[in-house]
Amino acid sequence: MTAEAHEIYALLAAPLFAVGLVGVFACRHFLKKIIAAKILGASAFLLLIALAARDHGEGPDPVPHAMVITGIVVAVSAAAFALTLARRIWQETGQSGFGEKP
């Protein structure tokens, strides 16, 4: 692992965050909105892990690792909830996005 590698991933967090954020609003289909929210979350996780990889002599920082594991579980829980809502709306009305004519 080189010093530069984690900087590459830290920087990657910026476009991922932007793509996810714009995607949540710009995508029409519920499923894609949920995927966009997951990408948004992944960007924050990526930055945290990249920060943990900045080595000051003790190996990687375990605190961001723990934060991201917690974050992944929370993100999946929220996504499962959102998916249930989306599926239920589709089954009841045939709408797959906000503001569609049923």
Partner 1 sequence: MNPVAVGFDGLLALLILFLAVRALTAPGLQQPVILFIAFGLAMALAWARMRAPDVALAEAAIGTGLLGVLLIDSLGLFTRSKSETPPQPRRSRAASILAVGTTLLLAGGLGFAILAMPEAEGLAAAAAEKLGASGVDHPVTAVLLNFRSFDTWLEIGVLLIAMWGLFCAGGREGFAPRATEARPGTVLGGTVQSLLPLVLLVGIYLLWLGKVDSGGAFQAGVVLGAAGILLRLGGLGFPDWLRPWLVRTLLLFGFAFMLLVGLSALFAGAAFLEYPPTLAGPLILAVELAATLSIGFTLYCFFTYLFDLRIHPATASSES
Partner 2 sequence: MTAAALSPLMAAAVAVPTAGALAAFLLPNRWRAAVGLGFSVLTLLATFALAAGVTLHGPQDLFLGGWAPPLGIRLHLDGLAAVFLAMTALVAIPVGIYARTFFAAGEGSGSTDQTHLFWPLWLILWAGMNGVYLSADLFNLYVMIEVTGISAVALAVLSGKVPALTAGLRYLLAALVGSLSYLMGVALMYGTAGALDLALVAEAMDRQWTLRVAMGLLLVGLMVKTALFPLHFWLPAAHSAALPPVSAILSALVVKATFYLILRFWVEVFEGSVTIAASQAMGGLGAAAILWGSYQALRQERLKLIVAHSTVGQLGFLFLLLPLITVDATAAEAPWLAWAWHGGIYQALAHAFAKASLFLAVGIFVIAVGSDDRRASVDLVGRLPMTTFAFGLAGMSLIGLPPSGGFVAKWMLLKATFASGQWWWAPVIVAGSFLTAGYVFGILRQAFAPSERRQPLRQVPKTLEICALALAVLAILIGFRSEEVLTLLDIGVPFAEPAPPEGSEP
Give 85: exposed, middle or buried? Use CB within 10 Å, 0-12, 13-18, 19+.
Answer: exposed
Please compute Rg for the chain using Cα positions. Answer: 17
Which of 4, 30, 48, 42 is closest to 85 using CA atoms?
30
19-38 residues in contact with partner 1 (CB under 8 A) are 19-23, 26-29, 31-32, 35-36, 38
55-84 residues in contact with partner 1 (CB under 8 A) are 56-70, 72-81, 83-84
Question: x/- site string to partner 2, residues 36 to 65, per CB under 8 A?
Answer: -x--xx-xx--xx--x-----------xx-
| 12 versus 82: smaller Cβ distance to partner 2 | 82
Q: Three-class SS of residue 60?
A: coil
40's tokens: 């948004």
2-41 residues in contact with partner 2 (CB under 8 A) are 13, 17, 20-21, 24, 30, 33-34, 37, 40-41
CB of 37 to partner 1, least distance (A): 11
Query: How far is it, in rounded angstroms, from Cα 2 to Cα 6?
Result: 8
